[in-house]
Amino acid sequence: MNLLAPFIEVLTLDNIKFLLEGFMVTLKVAAISIVLSSIIGGLVGTLRYAKIPVVSQLLAVVVETIRNLPLLLIIFFTYFALPEIGIDMEIMTAAIVALTIFESAMLSEIIRSGLNSIDKGQIEAGRSSGLNYIQTLSYIVMPQALRRMVPPIVSQFISLLKDTSLAVVIALPDLLHNGQILYAQTGSGVTPIFTIVALMYFIVNFTLSRVARRLELKQV
C-alpha cells in the first residue's frame, strides 16, 4: 500500500475542493468558448462554403493563418500584445477570446467540409423545387450535413477542453494551474498530483468521446 500512500496524503478535503474550483474554471472557460466558437465557426464555415466573392477568399486566408499557428502564441498575443494597441482584457476574458479565435477556425473547417460532403444535386433539386439559396441551405443541406459533422465537432470540443489548460501561461486559475500550486505547496512529489489532475481531465473527455462514438455508430 506504499504506492497509494502519497495519493491518500494529497487527497485532503481542502485539496480536493481547491482542484475542483480550478476544474470549474476550466469547464466555464471551455463552455463559453464552445458556444462562441460554434456560432462564429458555423458562420465562417457557411460563408466559405457559399463561395461569396472576396468574402470567402478573405475568410480562407484568415482561417488558414489561424489554424496553422500554435494556440499558445494566440493566447500570448491576446493577453500580452493586444494591450499595446489598446485592447486590454482580464485573464479569463483573454483566455476565452484566444480559445474562441483558434477553435472557430478549426470548427469552420469541419463545417465547411461537412457541407461540401453533401451531393451538389441536393442544392440543384432544392433550387428547382422553388426554394431560394438560403432556404435550400437551411432546410436541405444543413440538416444532412449536421448529422455527419457531429462526431468531428465533438472531438473538437474535447480538444478545446484540453486546450484550456494552455491558459495557465497567463495564470488562468484553472485545473492545471491549481494542480501546480498544490504540487509546489504540498511537496508530495509530482506523480500523485499530476495523476489526479490528469484523471479529472480524463473523466470528462472520455465521457464526451464515448458520446461521440455512440453518435458515430448510430449513423452507420
Partner 1 sequence: MLDFSILTDNMDAFLEGFKVTLIASFIALICSFILGTLIAVMRIAPFKPINWIGTTYVEFIRNIPVLVIVFFTYLAGNFGGMAAGIIGLTVYTAAFIAEAIRAGIMSVPRGQMEAARSSGLTYGQAMRMVILPQAVKIVIPPLGNQFINLVKNSSLLAVVAGGDLMYQGDLISASTFVTFDTYIFVGLFYLILTIPLSFGVGYLEKRLARSN
Q: How far apart are CA 144 and CA 114, in angstroms?
A: 9
Range 160-199, binding partner 1 (CB under 8 A): 162-166, 168-169, 176, 179-180, 183, 190-191, 194, 197-198
User: Rule CB under 8 A: is residue 18 a binding residue for partner 1?
Assistant: no
Q: How far apart are CA 220 and CA 204, in angstroms?
A: 25
Segment near partner 1 (CB under 8 A); pick from 36-44, 47-55, 89-97, 200-208 = 200-208
User: Rule CB under 8 A: is residue 133 a binding residue for partner 1?
Assistant: no
Range 146-165, binding partner 1 (CB under 8 A): 158, 162-165
- Maximum CA extent, the chain: 74
Q: Which C-beta is closer to partner 1: that of 126 or that of 179?
A: 179
Query: Which position among 12, 70, 90, 124 is part of the footprint of partner 1 (CB under 8 A)?
Result: 70
Q: How far apart are CA 25 and CA 31, in angstroms?
A: 10
Q: Which C-beta is closer to partner 1: that of 7 or that of 127?
A: 7
User: Rule CB under 8 A: is residue 220 a binding residue for partner 1?
Assistant: no
| Count of other CB atoms within 10 angstroms of residue 137 | 19
Q: How far apart are CA 109 and CA 116, in angstroms?
A: 10
Cβ-based burial of 7 (10 A; exposed 0-12, middle 13-18, buried ≥19): middle
- Contacts of residue 10, Cβ cutoff 8 Å, sequence gap at least 6: 182, 186, 188, 192, 193, 196
User: Rule CB under 8 A: is residue 82 a binding residue for partner 1?
Assistant: yes
Query: C-beta of 184: minimal distance to partner 1 in Å?
Result: 10
User: Rule CB under 8 A: is residue 64 a binding residue for partner 1?
Assistant: yes
List interacting residues with partner 1 (CB under 8 A): 64-65, 67-73, 76-77, 80-82, 84-85, 158, 162-166, 168-169, 176, 179-180, 183, 190-191, 194, 197-198, 201-202, 205-206, 209
